[in-house]
Amino acid sequence: MKGKITIAIDGFSSCGKSTLAKALARALNYKYIDSGAMYRAVTLYALDKGIIKDGHFDHDFLVHALPDITIDFHFNPKNQKSETLLNGVNVEDKIRLGEISSLVSPISAVKEVRTKLVELQRSYDEHKGLVMDGRDIGTNVFPKAELKIFMTADPEVRAMRRFEELTAKGYHTTMVDVRTNLAERDHIDSTRVDNPLTRAEDAIILDNTDLSPEEQLEFALDLAKSRMNL
């Protein structure tokens, strides 16, 4: 396919960024990188190593440990999914747990963590043909991306989607807890000092409150093809 481009998808938690990014990457035969999984992997490492205790973390201990953290992605042909490797170990399921979700925003706000992971994220874009989703992909990681999409949805719809996702995976939670977690993450992501969640000026807004996954994909594919001059 000619005219390969870089596609940056940003937006709030539980807006379906990863779902759209994965589907778009498959449709275009592009590489997919889940930047959020990278921050979740760092959070899991900090939790396992005792850097996080009782919901709080030791900033200096975390920064000192960063050189010991390696994050890679492996495509699993059995389930046709990209899986996250933390220091060579598959942690895809562990990083999706509710405990990680409640801790990831404070960890991702640490400047040194963002610097390390942004450098790694940028290294994936050597040959274009890449879809990456996150919070600051279009504004910071790939500010020159040919296509930027900013996703949003009604907060109540987002909470219900997250609640149903967790329930389907067997996790015990409540709508109140899910709403609280999403509100806290939105606040931290939008107000952090280093590269907060914000829409790039040239990003196309995609409000998927009333859209199906198929409708979102069709919308994004049309945008991508127009940027690729197909």
CB 52 within 8 A of CB 102: no
pLDDT at position 34 is 87
pLDDT at position 60 is 96
pLDDT at position 2 is 59
pLDDT band of residue 201 (cuts 50, 70, 90) is very high
pLDDT band of residue 230 (cuts 50, 70, 90) is low
Rounded mean pLDDT, 206-229: 94
Rounded mean pLDDT, 111-138: 90
Q: Tell me whether residue 230 is in a domain.
A: no
Rounded mean pLDDT, 33-46: 94
Q: Tell me whether residue 68 is in a domain.
A: yes
Q: What percent of the chain has pLDDT over 90?
A: 67
pLDDT at position 27 over 90:
yes
Mean pLDDT lowest among 75-79, 160-164, 173-177: 75-79
As a whole number, the mean pLDDT across the chain is: 91
pLDDT at position 166 is 87
pLDDT at position 92 over 60:
yes
pLDDT at position 75 is 76
Largest CA distance in the chain: 53
For 183-194, write each residue's pLDDT tens digit: 998 998 899 888
Q: Tell me whether residue 1 is in a domain.
A: no
How many domains, in total, are found in the chain?
A: 1
pLDDT at position 74 is 83
pLDDT at position 76 is 79
pLDDT at position 21 is 94
Rounded mean pLDDT, 54-75: 92
Q: Are strands 6-11 and 71-76 parallel, antiparallel or unpaired?
A: unpaired
Write out the residue range of the structural domain in which residue 17 sits: 6-225
pLDDT at position 203 over 50:
yes
pLDDT at position 193 is 84
> What CATH number does residue 70 fall under?
3.40.50.300
Whole-angstrom distance, CA of residue 70 vs CA of residue 155: 34
CB 112 within 8 A of CB 193: no
pLDDT at position 172 is 87
pLDDT at position 1 over 60:
no
